């Protein structure tokens, strides 16, 4: 049964590779001796990621690319490079999304993200990255899987793919009304639709597509926020660093061989309430 979790030498493409959750995707790749193709638009952040992992681990097979996943020419260029070097793409993890840091330090952004004032530039950008970008990557990298008649696509959804954000947790005693942007919820709901469509479309080509819907990860959030969100979660806490890795490995390996078009919710029970 352990062999079903083996992803050694699999070529795994990860978008949004400089993001918070990407750390766990990357560590799954490294710890299981797979080959990681890491893509992010933020050059400074991806350089930090590169420096960290190349210093932290020995004998890693990671490649780093800076660019925009909504640019079809860029994605096609990456596809060609991967195929020329490795001859295949085994896994695509559509992880990229815009997640604005909406807090007291960003007052202008707070106003723009309130529903009555919502800036359509933010809306268009969020949908472009979170949905259009995922579609483009699915289109180009999935086409290579179709040619090989084998592949796995993992889309990263959210607990907010199933529930509305409880905006009360973002606010303190001040009169500033902070909210989770409506576009984030819409994108994450859309990811589920993309997952189901892709799963049905390519099932006959031995390509599976599933989604992981994680809850929040505890980092350095304010104590007030942690106290409020913990009350919404039956397990009374956010996820620990690394707590999603086993679920990721399951979904991108043959251990989930009969799972297709499904969503695994890993949120401490928040969405059951």
Query: 198-256 pLDDT, tens per residue?
Result: 999 999 999 999 999 999 999 999 899 999 999 999 999 999 999 999 999 999 999 99
Local confidence band at 102 (pLDDT 50, 70, 90 cut-offs): low
Q: CA-to-CA distance for 69 and 66, rounded, in angstroms?
A: 9
What would the mean pLDDT of 80-99 be, rounded to a whole number? 97
Distance (Å) of CA 4 to CA 212, 243, 255? 19, 20, 5
CB atoms within 10 A of CB 260: 18
pLDDT tens digits, one per residue of 118-135: 999 999 999 999 999 999
Local confidence band at 103 (pLDDT 50, 70, 90 cut-offs): low
Local confidence band at 99 (pLDDT 50, 70, 90 cut-offs): confident
The b/e string for 69-87 (b: 16+ C-beta within 10 A; e otherwise) is: bbeeebbeebbeebbeebe
Give every CB contact of residue 74 below 8 A, 6+ residues apart in sequence. Answer: 67, 68
Note the pTM of the prediction, 2 decimals.
0.97
CB atoms within 10 A of CB 213: 23
Distance (Å) of CA 148 to CA 82, 91, 205, 260? 14, 12, 9, 18
pLDDT of residue 14: 99
Continuous H helices in the chain: 22-31, 43-56, 72-86, 107-113, 120-127, 133-148, 182-201, 223-230, 245-251
Q: Coil, strand, or helix at residue 68? A: coil
Radius of gyration of the chain (CA): 19
Torsion of CA 82, 83, 88, 93, to 10 degrees: 40
pLDDT tens digits, one per residue of 38-48: 999 999 999 99
Distance of CA 48 to the CA centre of its chain: 19
């Amino acid at each position: 049964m352990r062999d079903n979790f083996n992803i050694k030498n699999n070529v795994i493409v990860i978008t949004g590779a400089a993001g918070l959750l990407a750390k766990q995707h990357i560590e799954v790749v490294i710890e299981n001796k797979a080959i990681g193709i890491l893509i992010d638009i933020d050059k400074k952040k991806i350089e930090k990621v590169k420096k960290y992992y190349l210093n932290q681990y020995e004998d890693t097979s990671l490649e780093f690319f800076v660019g925009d996943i909504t640019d079809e020419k860029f994605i096609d260029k990456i596809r060609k490079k991967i195929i020329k070097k490795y001859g295949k793409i085994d896994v695509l993890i559509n992880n990229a999304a815009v997640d604005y840091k909406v807090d007291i330090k960003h007052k202008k952004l707070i106003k723009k993200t309130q529903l009555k004032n919502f800036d359509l530039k933010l809306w268009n950008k969020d949908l472009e990255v979170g949905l259009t970008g995922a579609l483009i990557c699915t289109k180009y990298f999935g086409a290579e899987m179709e040619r090989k008649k084998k592949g796995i696509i993992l889309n990263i959804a959210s607990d907010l793919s199933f529930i509305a954000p409880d905006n009360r947790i973002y606010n303190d005693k001040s009169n500033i009304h902070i909210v989770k942007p409506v576009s984030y919820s819409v994108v994450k709901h859309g990811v589920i639709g993309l997952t189901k469509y892709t799963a049905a479309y390519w099932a006959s080509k031995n390509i599976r597509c599933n989604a992981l819907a994680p809850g929040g990860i505890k980092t350095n959030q304010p104590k007030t926020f942690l106290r409020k969100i913990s009350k919404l979660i039956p397990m009374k806490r956010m996820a620990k660093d690394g707590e999603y890795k086993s679920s990721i490995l399951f979904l991108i390996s043959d251990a989930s061989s009969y799972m297709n078009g499904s969503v695994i919710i890993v949120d401490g029970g928040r969405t059951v309430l």
